Structure 1
Amino acid sequence: MTTLQCLSPVDGSLYVERPLAAEGDIRQALDAAVRAQPFWRNTPLADRVALVRRAVEIFVDRKEELGPELTWMMGRPIRFASGEILGFAERAHYMADIAEAALADIRLPEKEGFERFIRREPLGISLVIAPWNYPYLTAVNAVVPALLAGNAVILKHSAQTPLCAERMVEAFIEAGLPAGVIQYLHLSHGNTERLISAPEINHVAFTGSVPGGAMVERVAAGRFIHVGLELGGKDPAYVRADADLEASVASVVDGAYFNSGQSCCGIERLYVHESLFDDFVQRAVALVKDYRLGRPDEADTTLGPLVRTAAADFVRGQIDEALSAGARAHIDPVAFPADRPGTPYLAPQLLTEVNHEMRVMREESFGPVLGVQPVRDDEEAIALMNDSDFGLTSAIYSRDIDAARTIGERLQTGTVLLNRCDYLDPALAWTGVKQSGRGCTLSTVGYEHLTRPKSFHLKKRP
């Protein structure tokens, strides 16, 4: 029997082992979803909303158990781990709040002798493929609105966070969702492709790497199903000359290093107006030095390991290459005794004298490193922010909201943020451009990607 093995970044031990789904398991899950979905779509929306809210309550009640599991599976410090559960609840409840309006028929102006409207119908069966870095927050974006829209869901989590799929499904089942409406499968890469290509699957929501997204598109090609891809980023921030320096330093540093930099919308490159540059760097370095790198199961740790040694080595390689090309490192790893080559424990780093010839300013790092460049004006900042293969979020720090709005209109990005970063508001469309993906989750717009329009053109008399 082939198994999934989750090796904890805390100490390299085997934390979870599960059998991978075989062909029969996949067939059983698909058949169950096919049987359940028609009943679920015909369940009154108010009842679907009530059941989902009940599941969220059950889930939140278990946050003290779920937090340590996250720490051991993917390395987030225990002091922050349970916060993801509350974020899950916020997004779920918001999508429930707007479900009635978002899914209501679109009524057209009166036309004598006719009734005309557009109905939003569920797609059928949604396959949600979730990553390890925010396994609950990313999954909720698709799972909850898919269920509220009347779809059945099959959830596949990363091999690094298998318990997350199990815990979510357990809560929904305990809340009373009918059998087959939501299920999980632990899958090999080959069987993941097999499931995407199954004719019963009507929608795929994938969060992960660009190569992973390319695989989803390749396997789904020719089936004409809905595919949503959230593929990460190399998100920039720009600190204008008129920014509140203290507030912008605190926000950017948190946005760059929280979760050890393992956030698709974390800040990975920063452009600071030359008049503030030296002061900004000095203050930022002081804040970064306050982090405590260590075992994430210890209460005073504020920076945990990366998810695996290979991920840490990738970031080490970016840093070393930048230094050899003339970049300046402002953090001495010696100040972080837990930093050890050959392990996932990596000291945070802030680099200046960087440029876009360096991989650290072009490739997604997904680790605790930030490159900082001075800029002369808005024009230079905009050009550099847009000089990327990615476009998920972009952050601006300024006291001038009109100037920020004007800059934001020129940025090639899915979300423009002012005086904050690394944040997702469920009332806004979560989407990206370029290699950050396509499609949309959350907001009323997100429901459009989980339903299909059906027009009714009814002539009242023959």
Structure 2
Amino acid sequence: MTAMIQLISPVDGRVYAERRCADATQIELALAAASAAQAQWKRRPLNERAAFCSAAVDAMLAMSDDIVAELAWQMGRPVRFGAGELRGFEERARHMIAIAPEALAAVEPSPIAGFRRHIKREPLGTVLVVAPWNYPYLTAVNSIIPALMAGNSVILKHATQTLLVGERFAEAFRRANLPAGLFHNLLLDHGQTAAIIASGRVQQVNFTGSVGAGKAMEAASEGRFLGLGLELGGKDPAYVRADANLDHAVENLVDGSFFNSGQSCCAIERIYVDKRIYPVFVERFVALTRQYVLGNPLDEATTLGPLINPGAAEFVRGQIADALAQGAKALIDAKTFPADAPGSAYLAPQVLVDVTHQMSVMRDESFGPVVGIMPVASDDEAIALMNDSEFGLSASIWTQDLAAAERLGDEIATGTVFMNRCDYLDPALAWTGVKNSGRGATLSRIGYETLTRPKSFHLRHEI
């Protein structure tokens, strides 16, 4: 008998939903159907693929009222922010549909008399998308829509914590009348996922998750020569220069640190501030942080919900305690947030100063509502500290000097450089990382390159 999966809500610790994992027969049928359907789908004109995908986006948006409450129950995001994920879902999906004709167009070299030469973008086959719980619609759509637009079939393995999201995707494609077999939502355990990767039945795996899980994906794919896109998290830094618009920087960095309870791969987890403005920056940052309302995410007044589970909260509490033991200073009194309770998933936001890179909170991914702030004496010191990390997903520079931002951005080991914003994915730009933040890319026309293979035509028609 297959295993039963229980979705434990971070809201109250109770079982919110339960489902059985797919069994061997269901997995085999899905893989076979995906392969057969893709053979026909790749022959469909691009405008027909776009019509199906657009209809699925419309169908998903029609379910938004139910989705917002489901998100709160599944992963704890306050309902007042739930619709934002659906707006981002639509933005990314519509953009990737719109740019598909250009991104998938044949490459035409300079003409040579007597020859017809071009490079076509061929679909890979079946794409396995392994999606996380923290932004369950946004991370999944990054791969699902462009994979289908490129002529592939898709198998979605969503995080068990947000298993209802996978069902919503399946329902949206059902309402859009997507041809049978092209999309499958499978509830899988780790062993089943690894077995599918190792089977040779999928040609690309797009995974978002932890470094450890990414290594497991690599191990499962060994010797299969398949494509592997890995987005594995970050410890994203911000640098606030002396010429920054202080009010703008504070407002956006507080939001970038604590939105979604800090549970974002590109959340701001460490901040470096020019020492000339450091005291006033910290003062304003702490004042704004104290305005959060920690509580039940189903309450419209709540602006900070629980972490995904008590274990995640305890990890962050441990990082804070370790930093304090090494000399850091906490600027937020957790007692002013009544919902904060040791052993629970509810954790007050925390701002730490007097931190160093010897502390876990400045070195290891927190994935929670805590941020450390350090003063710096120069651009060079800031860049050295920003690069002192095993991660490199995004980094932000807060300044009114565009040339300085570009110059400093060239020196930062990161996938994305922001100026005067953070914690955002522009679908027109490649989402990628360096070091332990992963490899490969999604979004933009570059994202389509990872979902297709080049096929060259060298045709001599005059002899």
Interval of TM-score (by shorter of Structure 1 and Structure 2): over 0.9
Query: What is the one-letter code of the residue matched to 2:169?
Result: M
**Corresponding position: 1:356 with 2:362:** no
Deviation per CA, 1:203-244: give whole Å up to 9, x if none: 000000000100001100111111000001000000001000
| Alpha-carbon distance between aligned partners in 1 of 2:160 and 2:60, rounded to the nearest angstrom | 21
**Corresponding position: 1:246 with 2:247:** yes
Question: Per-residue deviation at 1:174?
Answer: 1.2
Q: After TM superposition, which residue ranges in structure 1, 4 or more long, deviate above 2 angstroms?
A: none
Question: Per-residue deviation at 1:317?
Answer: 0.3
Taking the TM superposition and a 5 Å limit, the aligned residue runs for 1:61-210 are 61-210=62-211
**Aligned to 1:106, what secondary structure does the other structure show?**
coil
Q: Which runs of 5+ in 2 are unaligned?
A: none
Which residue number corresponds to residue 379 of structure 1? 380
| Alpha-carbon distance between aligned partners in 2 of 1:55 and 1:8, rounded to the nearest angstrom | 28
Question: Per-residue deviation at 1:34?
Answer: 1.1
Query: What is the one-letter code of the residue matched to 1:34?
Result: S
Question: Per-residue deviation at 1:249?
Answer: 0.2
| Alpha-carbon distance between aligned partners in 1 of 2:200 and 2:263, rounded to the nearest angstrom | 34
Deviation per CA, 1:125-160: give whole Å up to 9, x if none: 000000000000000101110000000000000010
| Alpha-carbon distance between aligned partners in 1 of 2:302 and 2:440, rounded to the nearest angstrom | 37
Taking the TM superposition and a 5 Å limit, the aligned residue runs for 1:297-308 are 297-308=298-309
| Alpha-carbon distance between aligned partners in 1 of 2:117 and 2:127, rounded to the nearest angstrom | 29
Question: Per-residue deviation at 1:62?
Answer: 1.1
| Alpha-carbon distance between aligned partners in 2 of 1:83 and 1:60, rounded to the nearest angstrom | 12
**Aligned to 1:229, what secondary structure does the other structure show?**
strand
**Aligned to 1:42, what secondary structure does the other structure show?**
coil
**Corresponding position: 1:54 with 2:51:** no
**Aligned to 2:224, what secondary structure does the other structure show?**
coil
**Aligned to 2:414, what secondary structure does the other structure show?**
coil
Which residue number corresponds to residue 326 of structure 1? 327
Which residue number corresponds to residue 407 of structure 2? 406
Which residue number corresponds to residue 211 of structure 1? 212
Query: What is the one-letter code of the residue matched to 2:359?
Result: M
Which residue number corresponds to residue 419 of structure 1? 420
Deviation per CA, 1:72-123: give whole Å up to 9, x if none: 0000001111211111000000001100000000011110111100000000
| Alpha-carbon distance between aligned partners in 2 of 1:339 and 1:294, rounded to the nearest angstrom | 8
Which residue number corresponds to residue 461 of structure 2? 460
Which residue number corresponds to residue 339 of structure 1? 340
Deviation per CA, 1:405-444: give whole Å up to 9, x if none: 0000000000000000001000000000000000000000
Which residue number corresponds to residue 392 of structure 1? 393
Which residue number corresponds to residue 44 of structure 1? 45
Question: Per-residue deviation at 1:461?
Answer: 3.1
Deviation per CA, 1:42-75: give whole Å up to 9, x if none: 1110000111011101111111110100000000
Taking the TM superposition and a 5 Å limit, the aligned residue runs for 1:421-460 are 421-460=422-461
| Alpha-carbon distance between aligned partners in 2 of 1:44 and 1:365, rounded to the nearest angstrom | 45
Which residue number corresponds to residue 264 of structure 1? 265
| Alpha-carbon distance between aligned partners in 2 of 1:91 and 1:103, rounded to the nearest angstrom | 17
**Aligned to 1:351, what secondary structure does the other structure show?**
strand
| Alpha-carbon distance between aligned partners in 2 of 1:265 and 1:279, rounded to the nearest angstrom | 25
Query: What is the one-letter code of the residue matched to 2:50?
Result: V
Give the TM-score taking structure 2 as reference length.
Answer: 0.99
| Alpha-carbon distance between aligned partners in 2 of 1:264 and 1:64, rounded to the nearest angstrom | 26
Question: Per-residue deviation at 1:172?
Answer: 1.2
| Alpha-carbon distance between aligned partners in 2 of 1:23 and 1:334, rounded to the nearest angstrom | 50
**Aligned to 1:119, what secondary structure does the other structure show?**
strand
Which residue number corresponds to residue 255 of structure 1? 256
| Alpha-carbon distance between aligned partners in 1 of 2:4 and 2:179, rounded to the nearest angstrom | 28
Deviation per CA, 1:359-391: give whole Å up to 9, x if none: 000000000000000000100000000000000
**Aligned to 1:127, what secondary structure does the other structure show?**
strand
**Aligned to 1:160, what secondary structure does the other structure show?**
helix
Question: Per-residue deviation at 1:349?
Answer: 0.1
Deviation per CA, 1:314-367: give whole Å up to 9, x if none: 000000000000000000000000000111000100000001000000000000
Which residue number corresponds to residue 220 of structure 1? 221
| Alpha-carbon distance between aligned partners in 2 of 1:336 and 1:302, rounded to the nearest angstrom | 12
| Alpha-carbon distance between aligned partners in 2 of 1:352 and 1:440, rounded to the nearest angstrom | 35
Paired residues in the alignment total: 462
| Alpha-carbon distance between aligned partners in 1 of 2:62 and 2:421, rounded to the nearest angstrom | 30
| Alpha-carbon distance between aligned partners in 1 of 2:344 and 2:193, rounded to the nearest angstrom | 29
| Alpha-carbon distance between aligned partners in 1 of 2:183 and 2:68, rounded to the nearest angstrom | 23
**Aligned to 1:457, what secondary structure does the other structure show?**
strand
**Aligned to 2:428, what secondary structure does the other structure show?**
coil
Query: What is the one-letter code of the residue matched to 1:74?
Result: M
Question: Per-residue deviation at 1:199?
Answer: 1.6
| Alpha-carbon distance between aligned partners in 2 of 1:68 and 1:145, rounded to the nearest angstrom | 27
Query: What is the one-letter code of the residue matched to 2:444?
Result: S
Question: Per-residue deviation at 1:35?
Answer: 1.1
Question: Per-residue deviation at 1:25?
Answer: 1.0
Q: Which runs of 5+ in 1 are unaligned?
A: none
**Aligned to 2:129, what secondary structure does the other structure show?**
strand
**Aligned to 2:116, what secondary structure does the other structure show?**
strand
Which residue number corresponds to residue 312 of structure 2? 311
**Aligned to 2:42, what secondary structure does the other structure show?**
helix
Which residue number corresponds to residue 281 of structure 1? 282
Query: What is the one-letter code of the residue matched to 2:358?
Result: E
**Aligned to 1:82, what secondary structure does the other structure show?**
helix
| Alpha-carbon distance between aligned partners in 1 of 2:61 and 2:75, rounded to the nearest angstrom | 20
**Aligned to 1:373, what secondary structure does the other structure show?**
strand
